[in-house]
Amino acid sequence: MTKTRFFQTLLITDILALVIIGSILLILAPWLFRVYFQLSSRRFIRILFSDPYTQNLLEGYTALKKFGIQWVFENELRAQNGKALEKPIGTGRPFPHFDGLLLTPPTIRQRPLELTNYVNLHVVIGKKCIKPLDISMPILVSAMGYGVALQKPIVEAIALGTEKVGTACNVGQGPAIEEWTHAGKLVVQHHRAPWGPDEHILRRADMIEIRLGQGANMGSGTFVPSKGVSSEILRDLGLTAREIGYIPAGHPEIERMVRFRTLISRLRKIGGGVPIAVKIAASHFIEEDIEWIVKAGADVVVLDGAQGGTHSSPGILVDDFGIPTLSALCRATKFMRRYGYNERVDLIVSGGIRTPGDVMKALCLGASAVYMGTAALFAVVHTQLDRALPFEPPTQMAWANSEITTKFDVAAGTQALSGFLQSCADEIGIGLRALGKSSLSELDEEDLVAWQPEVARITGRPLV
């Protein structure tokens, strides 16, 4: 009994001692941490300020600053894989862009409209066509193909989201699966992949777009690997798990005018009179390209600048080819107006269009409408980004070869995209009213000034 009491007393004493020591450490912890941090910081600073530069940690910072952290990481990926670097989204180069322009209404001569005044945001593409494309706003969602880029739930959300606000989306270079037909207005790309659209799909199109190129890969051939892609996608692409798909470069039919005209006439007949568009990557030969397209009988020119997006393209094509969207738009507009082509052929521009302000400025410079790709993609995934972050990039929620198995919420994606597009339309309406104008057709370059010298040179707008 005495021995038991002794051990109980000893246990209680030990517990009390631990509590007292723990309390003391808890009280002293901030002070101890501060002392440790000060000692470590002093040692770190002493080493940093005394080691020879060639042995100094600062050398790494200087090297990264000189070379560029993005280029360091990209070259490390090249070193790791030993293959051409496949780069997603598009270039990050700081090209002259719409940021260098400002919309500027006169204060006295043009009074702003009241917020209650109606403004017309409708756009008609292919005005001379039997069945023109009539959309509720000057924004279409750009080509992003199922299987070659996107997974099926994202496709469905894009189709439903654009239908909800009355604008159009683009099938891209993937198979034209049933989910695309949920769109109210559908642009079908004519391309040379084995899974390209047949006549049945082309008849359902509200516009047919002949894809000759895009800003991020200039129309080069594209491999579509089967690795990491679901069996459902492989089946829709007509591939096996061991096969690699391939989208050939360009169209042989465009090389001779007779064949090009025949192709456009055939597609127009299949589509029942819908607009026939031709998409090209913007290059220094833009005037020559546009003249060839217009003379072949196309109704729409789609111009994709160097900032155009991509699921993945070789780094050299993404960063070092093409010309900037702003330059391409200004040159195209000037050329088309000089020869009166703008009276019968519409111009849709894409490549780095991110905001309602970008859209309005593009329209002022002569575009009939714009394509949005990356901005729309980010809007679709919206609050579902948390399923990828912080260990995977946000686009992993969308890509067909994503390693994320969490199911995408189509209803939430639909609502997010329609909300984004409607918000853009509302802001464009506000901008129109601020300019004292009631229709997009009233916008022109006189509504713009430039605050960046290079942008002033490119656009011909006065520098403030």
Residues 155-179 pLDDT 10s: 999 999 999 999 999 998 888 888 8
What is the C-alpha to C-alpha distance for residues 46 and 49, in angstroms, rounded to an integer?
5
What is the C-alpha to C-alpha distance for residues 205 and 431, in angstroms, rounded to an integer?
32
Q: Tell me: the pLDDT tens digits for 24-75?
A: 767 767 766 777 777 877 887 888 788 887 877 777 788 888 888 888 888 8
- Burial class of residue 102, CB neighbours in 10 A (0-12, 13-18, 19+): middle
In the chain the first and final C-alpha atoms are separated, in Å, by 97
The pLDDT of 195-201, averaged and rounded, is 88
pTM of the model: 0.86
Give how far Cα 84 sits from Cα of 216, 317, 322, Å: 15, 11, 19
67, two tokens:
């070379």
pLDDT at position 367 is 97
Which CATH number among 1.10.287.40, 3.10.20.600, 3.20.20.70, 3.40.50.720 corresponds to the domain 91-459? 3.20.20.70
The mean pLDDT of the chain is: 88
Q: What percent of the chain has pLDDT over 70?
A: 95
The pLDDT of 383-407, averaged and rounded, is 75
The pLDDT of 315-334, averaged and rounded, is 93
More confident residue, 125 or 213: 125
When pLDDT is cut at 50, 70 and 90, the band that residue 5 belongs to is: low
Q: Is the pLDDT of residue 81 over 70?
A: yes
Q: Is the pLDDT of residue 215 over 80?
A: yes
Residue 304 and residue 278 in contact, taking contact as beta carbons nearer than 8 Å:
no
What is the C-alpha to C-alpha distance for residues 437 and 21, in angstroms, rounded to an integer?
76
* Amino acid in position 118: Y
**239: Cα within 13 Å, side-chain hemisphere:** 26
Q: Is the pLDDT of residue 406 over 90?
A: no
Question: Can you tell me whether residue 108 is helix, strand or coil?
Answer: coil
37, two tokens:
């941090």
Q: What percent of the chain has pLDDT over 90?
A: 51
pLDDT at position 1 is 54
Q: Tell me: the pLDDT tens digits for 175-193?
A: 888 888 889 899 999 988 8
When pLDDT is cut at 50, 70 and 90, the band that residue 195 belongs to is: confident
When pLDDT is cut at 50, 70 and 90, the band that residue 400 belongs to is: confident
More confident residue, 251 or 434: 434
pLDDT at position 252 is 83
Q: Which residues, 6+ apart, have CB-to-CB distance to 313 below 8 Å? A: 86, 87, 216, 217, 220, 222
pLDDT at position 425 is 97
Q: Tell me: the pLDDT tens digits for 337-390?
A: 999 999 999 999 999 999 999 999 999 999 999 999 999 999 998 888 777 777
pLDDT at position 457 is 97
DSSP string, 113-149: PPTTS--B--EEE-TTSSS-EEESSSEEEEE--BTTT
Least confident piece of the model among 83-97, 238-252, 359-373: 238-252
What is the C-alpha to C-alpha distance for residues 135 and 348, in angstroms, rounded to an integer?
13
pLDDT at position 14 is 65
Residue 137 and residue 162 in contact, taking contact as beta carbons nearer than 8 Å:
no
Can you list the positions of beta strands (E) in 75-205? 86-89, 101-103, 123-125, 133-135, 139-143, 168-170, 185-190
When pLDDT is cut at 50, 70 and 90, the band that residue 93 belongs to is: confident
DSSP string, 292-360: HHHHTT-SEEEEE-TT--EEEEEHHHHHHSS--HHHHHHHHHHHHHHTTGGGT-EEEEESS--SHHHHH
- Assess whether the previous peptide bond of 390 is cis (omega < 30° from 0): yes
What is the C-alpha to C-alpha distance for residues 412 and 23, in angstroms, rounded to an integer?
50
Q: Is the pLDDT of residue 281 over 90?
A: yes
Q: Is the pLDDT of residue 243 over 80?
A: no
Q: Is the pLDDT of residue 225 over 80?
A: no
273, two tokens:
């009179």
Q: Which residues, 6+ apart, have CB-to-CB distance to 361 below 8 Å? A: 98, 101, 103, 448
pLDDT at position 25 is 64
Question: Can you tell me whether residue 463 is helix, strand or coil?
Answer: strand
pLDDT at position 10 is 59
What is the C-alpha to C-alpha distance for residues 171 and 126, in angstroms, rounded to an integer?
19
pLDDT at position 368 is 97
Least confident piece of the model among 143-147, 185-189, 206-210: 143-147
Q: Which residues, 6+ apart, have CB-to-CB distance to 1 below 8 Å? A: none
pLDDT at position 340 is 94
CA dihedral for 128, 129, 131, 134, sign (positive or negative) = negative
When pLDDT is cut at 50, 70 and 90, the band that residue 9 belongs to is: low
What is the C-alpha to C-alpha distance for residues 334 and 348, in angstroms, rounded to an integer?
14
